[in-house]
Structures are given as structure tokens and as C-alpha cells.
Amino acid sequence: MDFDAYAKTAVDLVNVRLDTLDDLRALFADDREWMRESVADKEMAVFRRAQRKLRDVFEAGAAGRDGDAVAELNVLLETFPVQPRISGHDAGDWHMHVTSRGASASAEYLAGAAWGLGVWLCEFGSARFGVCADERCGNVYLDTSSNNCRRFCSERCATRSHVAAHRARKKAAVDEVAALPSTAVAPKAPVPVGR
Ligand SMILES: [Zn+2]
Ligand SMILES: [Zn+2]
């Protein structure tokens, strides 16, 4: 795993629903099977708390509060210290892995998430932390677009939102014509009603 992959584990955690222990287990990828097996019910509270704090980091970055994003991440880094280790899946493919100094799934996952997000911030800046512009969604994302213009967490949210905006504009145009004094405009054809 590189720091990018660790940063994505922070995104995954913020965007997941944490109602049951199974929700939490689903968060762990296949190469983290030991976490799935060992994670305990009492760790739910730790994950939920970290989830809120990580969301704060994304909201601060997205709102231009760079200093807050850094301060909040520093608190997380202090709470979940990492133990770096050089690792290679194939010989010669050396890269850094981070583990926690404890042995629990929560300590390990959260250490990696905070570290990855911290390195990501130093590399790309907190302005590239995003919260989906669709209010019904609220998912967070890392904006890797070339001009930092991404507004939605996914293609699905972007499409849904564009369709809604298009309908709203169409309706506004119809309402505007209907509101004009009858002498001002005499439409030749009936005004279509947007649906
Ligand atoms: Zn690796
Ligand atoms: Zn979304």
C-alpha cells in the first residue's frame, strides 16, 4: 500500500454507514482479513468517533479552513501513532507500510488512515478535500482533478444533481412567463410545463 491507498481508507471510513459490526467488517479489504476476524464490538465506538473527526477534516479543507484541517489531523496522528515498516510484496518492490503500535484492528486501521490523509494533505493541499455537493449524499472525496474543480463524490451524484438543476431551471422559466402581465407577452404556442 502507498500513502494514496492509505488516504483512501480514510475516505472509505467516512463514507460508510456504521450501524452494525458487519458494516464495519465490510470496510476491511481482502488483504486485511485479520481485521475482519478480530475486530470487536467495543471498537465500534472508536471507529465512529474517528469517523466524525475525519469528516471534520474533510469539511474544514473543503471550506478553506486549512489550519483547522491540519490541526484536526495532527490530533488524529497523535491519537493513532504509526509504526513504519519497509515492505515488499514482490522482492525489490520496496515501499512503506504503516502499522499501529497496538494490535487492535481499530488502532491499525486508524493509524493508516490518519497517516495517509496527512501525507496526502502535505502533497496536494487540504483544498483538495471535498464533500459531495449533493446535500442528500454527504460523501467525502479526494479531488484529483487537474484543476481542482470536482464537486461530487461520484458520477452518479453529478448526474442526479444536473438533472435536478435542469428541471428547476425549466420550471423557473415557465413560472416567469406565467407571472408576466398578459399584455407583455403573448406566446404563440402553449408554454410547455416541465416535468
Ligand atoms: Zn504494500
Ligand atoms: Zn455524492
* 68-110 per-position pLDDT tens digit: 999 999 999 999 999 998 888 787 888 888 888 777 999 999 9
More confident of the two residues 30 and 156: 156
CA of 58 to the centre of ligand 2 (A): 14
CA of 186 to the centre of ligand 1 (A): 69
Confidence label for 29 from pLDDT (cuts 50, 70 and 90): confident
Is 60 exceeded by the pLDDT of residue 194? no
Amino acid at site 101: R
The residues with which 83 forms a beta bridge, in sequence order, are: 99
Confidence label for 48 from pLDDT (cuts 50, 70 and 90): very high
pLDDT of residue 182: 60
Q: What is the pTM of this model?
A: 0.83
CA of 97 to the centre of ligand 1 (A): 6
Nearest ligand (C-alpha, residue 15):
2
CA of 138 to the centre of ligand 2 (A): 6
Report the chain's terminal Cα–Cα distance, integer Å: 48
Nearest ligand (C-alpha, residue 32):
1
CA of 153 to the centre of ligand 2 (A): 4
Amino acid at site 183: T
Tell which residue, 20, 14, 27, 62, has the closest CA to residue 41: 20
Inter-residue contact 93 to 131 (CB < 8 Å)? no
Nearest ligand (C-alpha, residue 112):
1
Report pLDDT digits (tens) over 143-186: 999 999 999 999 999 999 889 889 999 988 888 888 877 655 55
